[in-house]
Amino acid sequence: MPGLEIPTWDPETALLIGTILLEAIVLYVGYGGLERLFGPYLMNLLVGGESNAQ
């Protein structure tokens, strides 16, 4: 197949992809924590008063 190549080790590219992977994990954990902390407050703000619609 023309142009088919085996990926070679490149530390800079590995760091780049590793950074994206790390960001994804941090965002998953971070936003999860923020949702638990501020979720009920935001729901009250948006829907108004006590809400158990979730």
Partner 1 sequence: MLNSLLDGLGALGTSPEMIALFVGFGLVVGVLFGFFGMGGSFLVTPALLMLDYPAPVAVGSGMAFVFGTAVIATLKHHDLGQVDYKLGAIMITGTTIGIEAGRASVYYLESLGLAGGIISVAYVVLLGGVGAMVTRDALNSDGGDGIDHEASDRDLDEYEIPEIAKTIQQTVRIPPMVTLRGDVRVSAWVITAVAFATGLLSGFLGVGGGFIRMPAMIYAIGVPVPVAVGTDLFEIVFSGGLGSYLYGQGGGVNLGIVAPLLFGSALGARIGSAATAVVDADGIKIYFGGMLLIGSIAVGIGEIGSYTGNPTLELLGLVLVIGAAVVVAFAILYTTVSSLRQTRRQGATAAD
From residue 51, alpha-carbon distances to 16, 31, 34 in Å are 43, 21, 19
Return the residue of 33, 37, 38, 47 that touches partner 1, per CB under 8 A. Answer: 47
Helix (H, G, I), strand (E, B) or coil at 6: coil
Q: Are 43 and 54 in contact (CB under 8 A)?
A: yes
**If binding is defined by CB under 8 A, does position 24 make contact with partner 1?**
yes
Residue 17: CB minimum distance to partner 1, A: 5
Per CB under 8 A, residues contacting partner 1 are 1-5, 7-8, 10, 12-17, 19-21, 23-25, 27-28, 31, 35, 43, 46-49, 51-54
